[in-house]
Every structure is written in C-alpha cells, then in structure tokens.
Amino acid sequence: MSEKVKVGIIGSQFQADIHAASFQIAPDEAEVVAVASPTPLHAQNLARRYGIPRVFTDYRQMLQEKDIEMVTLATPNYLHAQMTLDSARAGKHIVCEKPLCMTLEEAEEMVAVCKAQGVLLLYAEELYFTPKYVKAKEMADQGAFGKIYLVKQSEKHFGPHSPWFWDVERSGGGVFMDMGCHGIAFCYWFLGRPPIRSIYCQMGSYVHGDKTRGEDNSVCILEFENGAVGLVEDSWARRGGMDDRIEVYGSDGVTYANLHMGNALPTYSETGYGYAVEKAPSTKGWSYPVFDELWNYGFPQEMRHFARCVRGKEEPVATGEDGRVVMEALCAGYASAHAGKRIDLPFCPRGVKKPIDLWLGHNEGTSAR
Ligand SMILES: NC(=O)c1ccc[n+]([C@@H]2O[C@H](COP(=O)([O-])OP(=O)(O)OC[C@H]3O[C@@H](n4cnc5c(N)ncnc54)[C@H](O)[C@@H]3O)[C@@H](O)[C@H]2O)c1
C-alpha cells in the first residue's frame, strides 16, 4: 500500500484540533477522513475547519469504516483504555494521547490486546519529537556532555482548559498525572530507557483546592539504574502562561532548552492582539508570541512518524510500552508523596482505580504535605 494512511480522530476539542492541524501541516503520509465525538457541534466544527469528510457521534460507528487504518485518541484519560481495546479489535492502529490510561492493569491489557490483534499502539509523547529536545538528545548521544548525571524537565501553567482535568475520577490525578507523565517519559527516553530504580515525590494543592481534589504542584526525583537522576517539576499553579523547559548536566558539559523562549518575539502592546501562545492569559503589555507553535512542540513530526510506522517505513519511537513504564512511575510517585519517602520500582499496585488514590487514600481534605 502506498497511498496515504487514512486516519480517524476520536474527540473534537483541544488535542483533536492539534492532531487535525498536525496532519494538515505534514500532509504527505496521512489524511484525516473522519472524526467521532459525542458533541456533534464540536465535531462538525472540527470537520469544517480541516475539511474532514465524515463525522460520527459514536466512535464505535467510525471504527466500522473499513478504509480507516489508524485512529488517534484525543479524549479524557478514563476513556483511553476502552477506546484502545475497541479500536484494536476493529483492526485499527492506535495513537493514544498521554497519559496512556488510568491503571497499570489497563496499560498491560492495552499493550497485550494490541499485540494480539497485530496493531500498533503508539504513545503520543510529543517531547520525543520536540525539535529543541531532539537536538539536545542528539548532542548527548554524540557524547557532547560526557556522562550524564542529571536531566530535568518541567512544565508549568495556571491549569487546564477543560472541566474533566479537574475531576480526578476522569483524569486519574492532578498535575503530576497530566504533565508529570511528560517529564517521566522525557527523562526515561533521553537517558536511553534505563530502568527506573526509585522515585520520590512531593505534591500538594496550593492554589486550586476549591476546584479539584487533585494536586496542583509536584516535584519528582527519579533514580535510574545507570546512576543518572531525573528531576521533574510540574505546576497548574504557575501564573503567566505556558513554561516548558529542560536542563541536561553531564561530566563534560551542559545544555539548557526552553521550548518557547528563543522561539518567541518579545512583544509589547497597549491594545493586545489575537493569540500569543498556549494558555497565555493576555496579549496586553509584555507578551511572548511563538511562531510555528505546533512545529516547535513536534506534533506534526510526531503524527507523520506514526503514519510512517503504519506503512512500515519507520520503527515506532514512542509506544504503549513507554506509556506503561510511565504509568508505573506515576503510581509509585503518588504512593511516594503519600508515604513521604522514596519508593523502589518495580511497583505494581493492583486493584487501584486511579493513580491519585495512592496519594489521596488517607489524605482526603488535607492540603500540601
Ligand atoms: N500531548 C499533549 O501535550 C496534550 C495536550 C493536551 C491534552 N492532551 C491529552 O489529550 C487528551 C484529550 O484532552 P483535551 O485537552 O483534548 O480535552 P478536551 O476536553 O479539549 O477534549 C476532549 C474531547 O473528548 C471528547 N469525548 C468525550 N467523551 C467521548 C466519547 N465517549 N467518545 C468520543 N469522544 C469523547 C469530547 O467531546 C471532547 O471533544 C487527554 O488525554 C489529554 O491528557 C495531551
């Protein structure tokens, strides 16, 4: 088969828009032919914006479309597992948004069922495709920094855009679940996927306690088998728009990368203007508009790569297995924050409905520990 991979998107809002835009920016390998979402107006709007011909309100109907080879899941976390299983059983390759799912059992089942059905489970961790971060990894792999002993990643803003993120029953946790999953995946990938030996986490609800039972700030230290340390900081309590950055320290060198700054135009405006950057609260006064925002994140490169994987042109660099490793670390992180001490891996809690339960358990109603 040489024609473009036909894609169906499940979901029709924030991340679904990014998926559709990414396929439009890098159109040579794939085309979006359908979107499915229970909110018809949103689905129709997305279809209109990107010229998507077919619209469904039930994703199971979309899965019956024979020509669709790959689906992307841009839906709340609690739906990822069931949607993956349904899609795999319908013979579709799957791009699943982060975090992979809600529990370790779900992660294992997703990986096993996709394998049994002979479909790819591709994990949408765009930091593996973020040009600045890819450049840092290329330099690290060439030995530029000698032996790496510390990798940091942090992502901070003032909180997510949709109500379900704040509802731990549907999200599985607060900022650590939502964005700590990026940092864990990043450190693991950057260091060449050494096993994670232990994790220590501190988290609390500092600003948004009226809105969520989830934590809105977290600090996480990962120790890897190769001796390196990962430091992952995340916040939904940080004012001033999106901040995403890495630091890499080795015996022979160091590099720093700020995903937005350096790609931004320091700008002052009395009147304000249309759009600066994701989650920027205002465009009046000083602001830092970013150009080619999706490209700077790596989303189009990520979707192009996944389509090429479906065609057998590339080997997947981000898979369900990565998502499973991250899920285990998330569970261990919440348990660590609850216990107030380091937790060793492997850590495989069974029967836990969502990672944050390992922290909330006896902490309901308390704030930062
Ligand atoms: N990679 C990233 O940087 C990044 C950024 C934002 C969100 N995400 C992830 O993407 C996923 C979606 O987040 P979002 O920000 O787009 O949320 P959102 O609230 O903007 O959109 C969620 C979508 O899911 C749809 N939906 C809900 N129930 C559904 C169902 N039963 N069938 C089909 N569609 C259904 C909704 O109609 C909506 O269109 C989450 O897992 C989130 O963690 C990833």
Q: How confident is the model at residue 2 (pLDDT cuts 50, 70, 90)?
A: low
Question: pLDDT digit string (tens) for 18-39?
Answer: 999 999 999 999 999 999 999 9
**pLDDT for position 176:** 98
Contact 167, 177 (CB under 8 A): no
Estimate the crossing angle of helix 14-25 against helix 40-50, to 10 degrees.
20
Q: Comparing C-alpha atoms, which of 115, 60, 121 is closest to residue 90?
A: 60
pLDDT in tens, 184-223: 999 999 999 999 999 999 999 999 999 999 999 999 999 9
Mutational pocket test of ligand 1: of 9, 10, 13, the residue with most ligand atoms within 8 Å of the beta carbon: 13
From the alpha carbon of 77, which atom of ligand 1 is closest?
Answer: 41
Helix (H, G, I), strand (E, B) or coil at 69: coil
Ligand 1 centroid to Cα of residue 73, in Å, is 7
- Averaged pLDDT score across all residues of the chain: 95
Nearest Cα residue to 245 out of 136, 87, 148, 367: 136
Amino acid identity of residue 21, one-letter, is A
Ligand 1 atom 36 nearest Cα: 11
Which residue in this structure is represented by tokens 């977290």?
A: 218
Q: For a pocket test of ligand 1, which of 15, 49, 59, 162 has the largest count of ligand atoms closer than 8 A to its C-beta?
A: 15
Q: How high is the pLDDT of residue 76?
A: 98
Tokens for 207?
């600003």
Say if CB 336 and CB 201 are below 8 A apart.
yes
Q: What is the model's pLDDT at position 1?
A: 54
For range 53-65, the mean pLDDT: 98
Confidence of residue 362 (pLDDT cuts 50, 70, 90): very low
Tokens of 346: 């492997």
Please give the Cα distance from 218 to 200 (Å, whole number). Answer: 11
Ligand 1 pocket (Cβ < 6 Å) reads 10-16, 36-39, 42, 59, 74-77, 79, 97-98, 124, 126, 162, 164
Token pair belonging to 200? 């220590």
Confidence (pLDDT) at 263: 84
Can you give the pLDDT at residue 123? 98
Give the whole-angstrom CA distance, residue 320 versus residue 300: 20
Pocket-testing residue among 9, 39, 97, 170, ligand 1, by greatest number of atoms within 8 A of Cβ:
97
**Does residue 183 surpass a pLDDT of 80?**
yes
Given this model, what pLDDT does residue 262 score? Answer: 84
User: Would you state the structure tokens that stand for residue 358, as one six-digit string?
Assistant: 């390992």
pLDDT above 60: residue 80: yes
Report residue 361 as tokens: 């358990």
pLDDT one-digit tens code per residue, 97-140 = 999 999 999 999 999 999 999 999 999 999 999 999 999 999 99
Q: How far apart are CA 357 and CA 131, in angstroms?
A: 35
- Closest ligand 1 atom to Cα of 17: 16
Rounded to two decimals, the pTM is 0.95
Q: Which amino acid is at 114?
A: C
- Written as one letter, the residue type at 110 is M
Is the CB of residue 95 less than 8 Å from the CB of residue 73?
yes
> Is the predicted pLDDT of residue 272 greater than 50, yes or no?
yes
